[in-house]
């Protein structure tokens, strides 16, 4: 069973080493340096390693959202001048675990994969420990009222989902794709619609059927929704929720194609895997921690997609043809260099209403994307 994961992780580790090289080298030569709010003192010879804590809202081996962060954390592990502390299943106790990492464990950087309702408590911890940097995955709601030692990094996964949809559109012979999603929140709809726009870019006759299963859906419930989509005529399955593994497993069992999500899921569908939309947090982790370790200024808000290397697509599977690969590669390059946008008008929703006017483009950080309430033309919700 062929997978490119080991080679890609080795490549990521080389990238991390390059990012750390200059910062840690300079830090080791500094005997003293000013310590600003939100910045740790630089690592110096004879001083303890910089403690970096990672709080996962679930299992770090969930083959989904948390595992994508865990792969970035593993790329940091073992680097000179750094000590890694990880805590799993932290949902509901994030603030308490953060206090334990900062206090007894002595971490000076704490990375939180998903703060959720625990954000106020975590911000209180950050305010109480100004010599520790707290980094959160996601976009801040109110940047003006945040402690100065907090930072946020947001990746535009919709760009990678758009490319997955493009590949799926080429691959679907039935012209019907099924997608299992968590709930119709703006960030979820953004990725669902991006996938649909990609699929219909390959073939305008392609239809996307979406099954919303809820945020708390179990793997069994996700699998049941995927099976229903497959039995309803979909010959490609995809996902937009915390863990897409059950969707790929159902696709492989039914002898149909699939796209992965969050991390490399090709091992669960060796015959039918097409590609996937992945996070690529290695660069964000490495650059931020290296600057903090060196006592240098660091950006408190980092956003990006392909342009910043924050997202990527999984290596193509055997079912992806030459034409699809060429089109997908070209589309990815256009998104990366800013010559294209996923949401470029004219775009209509599935009721025929124009939601993005002709000549208008909604790019990664556009506030309108965070208020999305519509499904694109060609998308239908199962059960409605």
Tell whether 149 is covered by a domain: yes
Tell whether 310 is covered by a domain: no
For residue range 26-75, list pLDDT tens digits in order.
333 322 233 333 333 444 444 568 999 999 988 999 999 999 999 999 98
If one counts the domains in the chain, the total is 2
Does residue 14 or residue 324 have the better pLDDT? 324
Tell whether 309 is covered by a domain: no
- The string of DSSP letters for 169-187 reads HHH-SSSEEEEEES---HH
Task: Return the closest-CA partner of residue 196 out of 383, 384, 381.
Answer: 381
Residue 194 near residue 227, CB atoms below 8 Å = no
Q: What is the CA radius of gyration of the chain?
A: 21
- The string of DSSP letters for 182-206 reads S---HHHHHHHHHHHHHHHHH-TT-
CA distances from residue 125 to 36, 114, 301 in whole angstroms, order as listed: 18, 16, 19
pLDDT at 384: 59
Q: Does 214 lie in the same domain as 350? A: yes
pLDDT at 305: 97
Q: Does 142 lie in the same domain as 165? A: no
pLDDT at 138: 87
Q: Does 182 lie in the same domain as 285? A: no
Q: How far apart are the first and last CA of the chain?
A: 40
**What is the rounded CA–CA span in Å between residue 152 and residue 116?**
13
Q: Does 285 lie in the same domain as 202? A: no
Q: Does 193 lie in the same domain as 320? A: yes
Tell whether 67 is covered by a domain: yes
Per the structure, the complete domain to which residue 66 belongs is given by 5-156+280-304
Does residue 3 or residue 227 have the better pLDDT? 227
Q: Does 251 lie in the same domain as 142? A: no
Q: Does 162 lie in the same domain as 144? A: no
Q: Does 374 lie in the same domain as 254? A: yes
Stated as kind and residue range, the H or E segment containing 281 is none
Q: Does 12 lie in the same domain as 143? A: yes
Does residue 366 or residue 6 have the better pLDDT? 366
CATH code of the domain containing 167: 3.40.50.2300
For residue range 220-260, list pLDDT tens digits in order.
999 999 999 999 999 999 999 999 999 999 999 999 999 99
Residue 281 contacts by C-beta under 8 Å, 6 or more apart in sequence?
68, 69, 71, 72, 137, 153, 155, 310
For the ranges 29-33, 121-125, 208-212, 296-300, the one whose mean pLDDT is highest: 208-212
pLDDT at 120 over 70: yes
For residue range 344-358, list pLDDT tens digits in order.
999 999 999 999 999
**Quick one: average pLDDT of 250-273?**
98
Mean pLDDT value across the chain: 88
For residue range 362-379, list pLDDT tens digits in order.
999 899 999 999 999 999
Q: Does 42 lie in the same domain as 166? A: no
Q: Does 207 lie in the same domain as 130? A: no
The residue out of 269, 304, 339 marking a domain boundary is 304
**Quick one: average pLDDT of 1-21?**
42
pLDDT at 26: 36
Tell whether 162 is covered by a domain: yes
Q: Does 196 lie in the same domain as 57? A: no
Tell whether 192 is covered by a domain: yes
């Amino acid at each position: 069973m062929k997978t490119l994961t080991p080679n890609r992780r080795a490549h990521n580790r080389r990238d991390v080493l390059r990012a750390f090289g200059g910062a840690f080298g300079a830090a080791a030569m500094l005997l003293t340096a000013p310590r600003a709010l939100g910045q740790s003192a630089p690592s110096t010879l004879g001083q303890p390693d910089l403690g970096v804590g990672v709080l996962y809202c679930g299992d770090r081996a969930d083959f989904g959202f948390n595992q994508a962060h865990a792969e970035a954390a593993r790329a940091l592990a073992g680097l000179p001048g750094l000590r890694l502390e990880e805590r799993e299943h932290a949902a509901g106790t994030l603030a308490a675990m953060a206090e334990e990492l900062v206090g007894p464990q002595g971490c000076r950087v704490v990375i939180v994969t998903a703060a959720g309702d625990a954000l106020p408590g975590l911000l209180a911890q950050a305010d109480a420990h100004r010599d520790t940097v707290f980094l959160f995955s996601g976009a801040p709601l109110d940047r003006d009222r945040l402690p100065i030692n907090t930072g946020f990094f947001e990746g535009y996964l919709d760009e990678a989902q758009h490319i997955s949809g493009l590949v799926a559109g080429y691959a679907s012979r039935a012209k019907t794709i099924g997608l299992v999603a968590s709930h119709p929140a703006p960030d979820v709809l953004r990725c669902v619609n991006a996938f649909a726009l990609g699929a219909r870019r390959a073939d305008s006759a392609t239809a996307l059927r979406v099954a919303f299963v809820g945020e708390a859906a179990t793997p069994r419930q996700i699998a049941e929704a995927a099976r229903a989509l497959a039995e309803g005529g979909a010959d490609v399955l995809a996902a937009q929720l915390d863990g897409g593994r059950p969707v790929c497993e159902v696709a492989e069992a039914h002898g149909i194609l699939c796209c992965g999500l969050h991390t490399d899921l090709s091992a669960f569908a060796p015959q039918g895997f097409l590609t996937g939309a992945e996070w690529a947090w290695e660069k964000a982790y490495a650059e931020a921690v290296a600057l903090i370790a060196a006592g240098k200024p660091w950006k408190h808000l980092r956003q990006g997609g392909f342009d910043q290397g924050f997202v990527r697509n999984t290596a193509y599977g055997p079912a992806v043809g030459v034409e699809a690969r060429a089109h997908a590669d070209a589309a990815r390059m256009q998104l990366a260099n800013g010559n294209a946008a996923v949401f470029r008008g004219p775009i209509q929703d599935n009721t025929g209403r124009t939601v993005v006017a002709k000549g208008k483009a909604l790019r990664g950080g556009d506030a309108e994307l965070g208020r999305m309430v519509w499904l694109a033309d060609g998308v239908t919700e199962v059960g409605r």
